[in-house]
Structure 1
C-alpha cells in the first residue's frame, strides 16, 4: 500500500482513452464518448471482484459513507455506533446527515469491541459501523448478531481494507452496506474516489439516484431523466474512474506484494520477547497493508516509534498521538466546531467526549505501533528494514527491563 506505487502503462492507457473521447463526465454525451464508460466498467469490475450485486462509484470514501447512510435513511437524531480509532471521515459523514456519532472502545483487533457496542445500543441506535482500520476487521459475526437482534444496519467502513475477507466474504460485502476509499494513499487509487457496495437492490437504486442530484438515469443523454428524490453531487469523473479501472486489475498483485513484505517483517519481529501482534478474528484475512504490534507499555511504544523514525525506518505510526485517527485529539468533534449549523438533536445527543472513559481503547492503541507496508521495497530492503526494527525494539525493551530491575533492587 498504496496503489500509486504500482502505476504505469495500464493507467496511462485508460486515461488516454478518456482524453481521446473528450468526455470527462460519467453520465451523458452518449454518442461523443465512443463507447467509453469507465465508471460503469469499474463498477462492474468491483461487483465481480467483491462478489456483490451492486457497486456505486462516488467522489471519495467520505462521500461513500455519506451516501450509504443516506440511502439507509439514517438522519436527524439517529445514533451510529463507531470506534474510537478511525479516520475523522467516519464521524464527519455521520454528522453530515444529522445523526449522532456514538464512539465506543476498540479491543485487541484495534476495531470495534462487540461487548462495548452492545452496552451502547439504545432505542435511538440505527447503525453499527465497524471500521476495518489498517487492513483488518472486527469480530464481525457478533456485530452482525447484534444487528439482527436489534434490527440495526451493519455498515462496513472498509476504506483501508479492500481485498481483506471474513468468513469467505470480502470486507465491505459482509454487512448491509460497505464503503471503500480510492484516494491517493489507499490500496488501490483513483487519485480521489470511493464506492458503496451492497446486495440490497433498494439501497443500490437510491445510491445511484442520490449521488447525482436525484437523477434516475433513465433515457439517453440525460434529457429524459426524472428526479424521483432529492440528491447531491457525489459523482466521480471518468478520468478518476479510468485510473481506478487500471488499478483494480492490479489488486491481486498488490495484495501479494503486501503479504510477502508483511510476512518477512512479522517473522523477524515475533521473536522479540514482550512484543505481541494485533488479533485477527478467526476466519479473517487481512489485506496486509499494515503490520500492527503491541509493546508492553505506552511509554515503550512512544519511545520505539520515535527511535524507529530517527534510525531511518519511516512509515511506523503511533496513532495514540495522531490527530487524524484517534479520539483524544478530535477537539472539533468534542466541541462541535463547525462552520455550518449543528442541530439541537446533535447538541443534546452527543456524549461529552471530554469526560468519557475510553481507557480500554487507550490500553490497546497506546501500546500499538502500526507499520505501513510499501510495495516498492526490494526483498533486500524489506529484510534490512526487519533487522533495523528488531534491533531498535530489542534495545528499548532490554533497557527498560534493566531499568526496572535497578528500581526494584
Structure 2
C-alpha cells in the first residue's frame, strides 16, 4: 500500500532519529581520537554558553571522560556513560584521588542520546561552559587535559569497576576559539604547497617524538602570501599526531644528508636558523584562513621546517606517517603581512625553579626596538 504524505514524513523523521541514535550526531564541528589505537573518539561543538559532546568508545561497557587542569584524577570533572538493555545512562562525578570518582551533589550533565552497536558505545551529552559548581571544571579558551578510560562491563548499582592501567590515558585539547570551517572560495591564482613527512616510521621505543622535516620551497619569481593553512593528517593516524609547528629557515641555502629525522638527533643540530614560526596547530584544530586583507609573506626563504609531535602512548610498532601542512599561496599580495609573536622564556633551558619553592615569579622583557619597528 503506498504511503500518504503524512506517513512518509513520519517515516523520514523516524529514520533521521534512528540514524542519530545509532550513529551519533553529524553536525559536531570538531573531533579527535584520544588514544593512539583509536579506541576512544571525542566530538564536540560550542553553542553560546553550552558545549555538546559525543564520545565513541570501542566497548560494550562504560566509558569515562574527565576534564582536568593537570591530567590527574584528583579534582577532575568526570562523566561516566554506558548503555544497558538498550537504554543509555550518564553519571556526573568528580575525582578525589586515584579511586572511583564520587557522584556530584549537583548534576550538571544532560544526556542527549546513546546507543551500543557492534561493540561501539556512543554517548551524547551536554553541559554549561560555566556551571557554578565547585566540583565541575570551568571550560574556557584555556588548554584542557582530557582524561579518558573505559571498561568492558557496565557499572553495577552505579559502582564502576576499575578500568585498569591499559584502558586509560590523557590528552591536551582546546575546546573553544577554534577556527571556523566556513571557508571562502579561493581565487583562481591560488597555488598549493604540501609540507609533509614522507612515509616515516614513528618510533616505538618512546611515547613522545618530535620529528623534523625540511622542505625546499619552489623558486618564485615574486613574493607570495599564504592565505590559508590546512592540516593534512594521514588517515588512521589521528590518534598519534598531537601537534605540528611550521617554521621559516632564514639564511639556510643547502642541506647535506638527511632532510627528515628525529629533532633530537645529531643530524638536526646544524639547522638552528629555523626560528621564525609560521604556524602552530594542535589536535582539535582545523583549517586556518587569514582575513581578506591579510596574508603571510614568503620572500628570500629557501627552506621551511615542519615539526610533528607524535604521541605514541602505547608504543605501537610499524606506524608509517605522511602527515603535515598544506599551504595555499598567491602572488596577488594583500594589504597586510601576518606574523607570529612568540613571548616568554624557553622552558627547556632557562626556566628553572629552585627546589622547595611555594611560589616563584618569572620576569621577561622586550627591547623597545620590537615595539618601535614599523615594517
TM-score band by shorter chain is under 0.3
Output the TM-score relative to the length of structure 2.
0.23
More strand by share: 2
Max Rg structure: 2
